[in-house]
Chain A
């Protein structure tokens, strides 16, 4: 209601709120990274996080990539045939997956799967005083909870993106060879010859950036949650929204940088 009555005040408050959040997230990020290099380290927690964020995300990443790659091949074939350019399917599938769809889709799947679970877990710990208990047991929650998840995402999400790229290209290859009558050997040769190292590097760099965003948003909203079950739900929702939007924004910026 007040938004309708005082539109300028509403916009002003919104802008101030966004600026404040950006500042707080930046401080949180700086603090998190500063803890990465300072002992104590928690290798067991890192191991668990690597397993949860990396290994257990493989099925979801694989399925997303294979269907997308397959659909992409069909779309490009249908679009290409309108000006007799069906032959470009391998090249466009490769570049589309590696430069754009692989990192973005993996990033969004990680935001859905990993950010939400990190936020819900840490938020529950916060509202049940487990974070306070950690502190009284001389354990820094930033080092014990945030650093392992951040590091694990930084390490595994680029790998997941690489794997997603390969599986996506394989999906396109399968459709092209099975349904569209492409020659298998030529398809592969065209794919490999066409991709440049920079394409692959940009894909992996995006993966690393999106991994950091996904883990950081989960931790940030989890750590600042309050007010019981409702607060946990709120933290989870906010973290996934923020991660998804930041991933898409970062994708735009990074694509510009590698253009």
Chain B
């Protein structure tokens, strides 16, 4: 459903993506792993058109993502940003209900609020948080509000940039289950970036490892342990020694 072909992106001298090629099938959950600063977030932003790649193609449903109706294209996506990116001038519920308060999906205010509170509940937040401002919440709570906002309009394709960093193990488990549920029950296509190997095993159908701007290994999560790839092995076992340099 999402096809990235030979994607390249550099920031000045920093060559971040150096020919990234990846396919994500409809209704599956792809988890991207890879060292910090290897360009995982940049790759997701390229798909959404927030960063323009220098070369390469991005296709969604066989259609070039850079042409055609932007609004219709973006309406199919939900995105959880690594830093949350909550609108700090709006209370939590209006953040979650953002799409339902304006534009083509506009609903009556009371209904939008109900939906927002329901999504907050699904990410483990009490209804009382709805009227707080993002700045009044803890980091992990902000992350979960961002998650609620990403799934609020039940998008077909959802990107999660580190959904469980900053959460306690129990809450991380809740979020992993939620992401799995969204893929299995609602048939959504998910791309998740994470550093948490427990999450990888809980969420993924397929795993892709990004290293030095290319996908070093990709395959079903069940084959991850027996891949024989030294880069992947070092990563999943968190070894300081191995082919991946510790300083980058």
Contacts and interface: CB of A to CB of B under 8 A. Distances in A.
Interface in B9-61: 45, 48-50
Given A40-B102, A42-B102, A136 B79 contact: yes
B85 A135 contact: no
A116 B86 CA distance: 22
Q: Is the interface of A mostly helix, strand, loop or mixed?
A: helix
Nearest to A136: B79
B185 interface: no
B99 A138 contact: yes
Contacts of A134: 87
B77 interface: yes
Contacts of B75: 138
A104 to B, nearest CB: 31
A37 interface: no
A132 B45 CA distance: 9
Nearest to B155: A136
B99 A133 contact: no
Contact of B85 (A40, A129, A139): A129
B81 A129 contact: yes
Contact of A130 (B49, B87, B104): B87
Contact of A133 (B49, B87, B103): B87
Contact of B71 (A124, A133, A138): A138
A34 interface: no
A42 B102 CA distance: 8
A132 B98 contact: no
Contacts of B85: 128-130, 132-133
B197 interface: no
Contacts of B48: 135-136
Nearest to B152: A137
A131 to B, nearest CB: 9
B74 interface: yes
B99 A130 contact: no
Contacts of B102: 40, 42, 139
Nearest to B98: A137
B243 interface: no
Nearest to B153: A137
A167 B89 CA distance: 34
B4 to A, nearest CB: 18
B140 to A, nearest CB: 17
Interface of A: 40, 42, 121, 124-125, 128-130, 132-139
Interface of B: 45, 48-50, 71, 74-75, 77-79, 81, 83, 85-89, 98-99, 102-104, 149
Given A128-B83, A132-B50, A133-B79, 14 more contacts: A40-B103, A124-B88, A125-B87, A129-B81, A130-B87, A133-B81, A133-B85, A134-B87, A135-B48, A136-B74, A136-B78, A137-B74, A138-B71, A139-B102
